[in-house]
Amino acid sequence: MKRLAAFSFAILALAATAQQKPQAVDDKDFSLNKGSVFESATPRPFEFEDGAKTERPPEGSGMPVMISHTIDDDLPITAEKNGCIRCHTPTGKKVRGAPPVPVSHVAQGDKPTVTGKRWSCTACHAPQADVKPLVANSSQ
């Protein structure tokens, strides 16, 4: 008797769900973003100005310094071809007023060189442009 009741209930449940039509989900309900998933946000275009004033990160914060000039002519940066070290020398000499590569990035020896993976400057440092941030930053 219990089996017959369970079987009957299962048949009724199946029949009830078979009659329901699937509801369409509005494309605005797919994410937390306010808008359609088919619309893409387009950032405002900007021009990069060489010599932009960059603020140094707080001392001891571990944040990398921003690049204050265009680097288009120096790309791609590889271990063999690194245009950054033309001005930012690992020897400690200032060229064109550019600060030298930090001591933490340099392997000392007969000829100082950039250590290990530190040759990939853009892995940590990014060009700075005068644009409004997409997300507010309240870190101190």
Mean pLDDT of 10-18: 75
Segments making up each domain of the chain, as ranges: 72-123
Is residue 62 packed enough to be buried (19+ CB in 10 Å), middle (13-18) or exposed (0-12)? exposed
pLDDT tens, position by position, 56-95: 666 667 778 888 788 888 888 888 888 888 888 877 777 7
HEC-encoded secondary structure of 22-90: CCCCCHHHCCCCCCCCCCCCCCCCCCCCCCCCCCCCCCCCCCCCCECCCCHHHCCCCCCCCHHHHCECC
pLDDT tens, position by position, 98-117: 888 887 787 777 666 777 77
Given this model, what pLDDT does residue 122 score? 85
